[in-house]
């Protein structure tokens, strides 16, 4: 079944979408951004502008159920569990997930000189901004935790709450023009309240790190105990390393004088937030003191899809791989209902665990900064233009996964020892937001 939150003139910008394998059981939450380009609206230097309003219109979410996987990593094993949203604080699932948005903007031109960072080559229109606190990069400190702990209303917003996200409403001027990129910047911290069996999020964590065989430090938040207290789960502040998203519109988004434009913003948490219980695996971004149990929270990517108010955003959802695959990749394409070419306006891809996975995935993202399309063949590229995934739209087929580039493929079990690999997929599930 589907539990879909449908948009109307409403909230922010960029991608994390996903689909849960053969179960076809997922929720998509929709935010949309209303851009009203008024004939009489001008800024102080007489530049024509529109008005941008951030807003949210979710339906009441419902729990999706749990999927438990027995995971084995060397000599250790445990239960790896998908968590759904639930308003019941005594039930398994997550009750809230709060994010701290820094900036939402659209830009006419960007370049990516180093890593996932970008340089503005043209102009950017800021839709939302709260740059009060410094951005934490690779090494969170106790002072950073103190700052984020005290950051409350006006900074952290529960992305599962209509009431919370309504507080993001803000009318801003945006110049008319042709925009090619959408960007959402968030602090790499989330606040979450969740329960999974005897495991609960707890307050009072601190940040530390592990160093793997490659010498890279992997930071995570550690709590002395994640056992459920009598009063139930507590809100945890959790460091998730990174959360920013950038995507190049395949068809540029033009804001004209007099237009009423909505920018749909979607994210899908199904199959994303997980818990690990038992003598299990020492991964995850929130762990107990012995690192045997914890919670997994991904980079929350959001996808912008622009349209006029009389139009709608259409979706195509692909599941690459089967339950027999070591992992699956969920791809969601967004396009405008009025566009007969179905040009990709937004897209995201996320790696999901299957029952055949031998190690848990920390919800590794596929870095799909842009997509090109020749005929029906779509190719996703990373920030440095290296190939990531190639597949054919509209029908069942076999996708090529590039294992050596920067887009995330080399972290896949399916890519072990290979330069490329393939995953089959069924015809897409289609819908309208």
Which residues does 323 contact at the CB level (< 8 Å), separation at least 6? 21, 22, 354, 355, 356
**Burial class of 153 by CB neighbour count within 10 A (0 to 12, 13 to 18, 19+):** exposed
The Cβ of residue 87 has, within 10 Å, a number of other Cβ atoms equal to: 14
Within-domain flag for 184? yes
pLDDT (tens digit, 0 to 9) for every residue of the chain, 433 residues total? Answer: 333 333 333 333 333 333 333 333 333 444 554 444 444 344 444 567 655 554 443 333 333 344 455 555 555 556 777 788 888 877 888 888 898 988 888 888 887 655 556 778 788 877 778 888 888 767 888 899 899 999 987 899 888 887 777 777 665 667 888 988 888 888 888 999 999 888 899 988 888 877 665 566 777 788 888 999 888 899 999 988 766 777 888 888 888 887 777 767 677 777 778 887 765 454 567 888 777 788 888 777 777 777 777 888 888 999 999 888 888 888 988 888 989 999 988 887 888 777 777 655 554 567 777 889 999 999 998 877 888 899 999 999 999 999 887 766 777 888 888 999 999 999 999 988 7
Which residues does 235 contact at the CB level (< 8 Å), separation at least 6? 96, 191, 192, 193, 201, 203
Within-domain flag for 345? no
The rounded distance, in Å, linking the Cα atoms of 288 and 280 is 11
3-state secondary structure of 135: coil
Determine how β-strand 370-374 pairs with β-strand 365-366. Answer: unpaired
| Number of separate domains in the chain | 1
DSSP assignment of 340-389: TT---SEEEEEEEE-TT-SS----PEE---EEEEETTEEEEE-TTS-EEE
Within-domain flag for 94? yes
Within-domain flag for 101? yes
Within-domain flag for 205? yes
Within-domain flag for 172? yes
Q: Which two structure tokens, joined as six digits, stand for 195?
A: 């329960």
Domain limits for position 24? 2-307
């Amino acid at each position: 079944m589907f539990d879909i939150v449908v948009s109307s003139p409403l909230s922010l910008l960029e991608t994390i979408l996903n689909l849960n394998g053969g179960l076809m059981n997922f929720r998509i939450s929709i935010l949309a951004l209303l851009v009203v380009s008024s004939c009489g609206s001008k800024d102080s230097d007489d530049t024509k502008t529109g008005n941008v309003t951030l807003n949210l219109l979710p339906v009441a979410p419902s729990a999706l159920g749990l999927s438990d996987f027995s995971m084995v990593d060397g000599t250790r094993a445990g239960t790896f569990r998908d968590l759904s949203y639930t308003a019941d604080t005594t039930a398994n699932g997550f009750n809230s997930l709060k994010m701290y948005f820094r900036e939402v903007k659209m830009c006419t031109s960007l370049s990516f000189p180093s890593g996932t960072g970008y340089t503005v080559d043209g102009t950017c229109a800021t839709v939302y901004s709260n740059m009060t606190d410094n951005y934490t990069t690779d090494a969170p400190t106790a002072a950073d935790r103190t700052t984020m702990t005290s950051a409350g209303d006006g900074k952290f917003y529960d992305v599962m709450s209509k009431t919370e996200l309504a507080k993001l409403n803000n009318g801003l001027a945006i110049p008319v023009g042709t925009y090619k990129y959408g960007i959402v910047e968030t602090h790499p911290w989330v606040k979450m309240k969740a329960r999974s069996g005897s495991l609960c999020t707890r307050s009072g964590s601190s940040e530390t790190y592990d160093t793997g065989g490659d010498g890279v430090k992997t930071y995570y938040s550690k709590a002395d105990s994640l056992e459920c207290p009598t009063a139930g789960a507590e809100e945890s502040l959790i460091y998730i390393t990174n959360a920013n998203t950038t995507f190049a519109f395949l068809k540029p988004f033009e804001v004209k004088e007099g237009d009423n434009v909505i920018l749909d913003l979607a994210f899908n948490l199904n199959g994303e937030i997980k818990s690990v219980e038992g003598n299990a695996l020492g991964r995850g971004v929130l762990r107990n003191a012995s690192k045997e149990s914890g919670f997994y929270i991904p980079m929350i990517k959001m996808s912008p899809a622009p349209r006029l108010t009389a139009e709608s955003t259409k979706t195509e959802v692909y599941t690459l791989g089967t339950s027999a695959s070591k992992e699956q990749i969920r791809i969601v394409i967004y396009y405008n209902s009025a566009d007969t070419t179905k040009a990709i306006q937004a897209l995201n891809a996320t790696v999901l665990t299957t029952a055949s996975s031998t190690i848990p995935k920390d919800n590794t993202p596929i870095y799909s900064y842009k997509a090109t399309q020749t005929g029906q063949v779509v190719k996703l590229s990373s920030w440095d233009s290296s190939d990531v995934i190639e597949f054919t739209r509209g029908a069942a087929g076999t996708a090529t996964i590039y294992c050596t580039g920067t887009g995330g493929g080399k972290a896949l079990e399916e890519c072990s020892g290979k330069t490329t690999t393939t995953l089959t997929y069924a015809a897409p599930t289609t819908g309208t937001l």
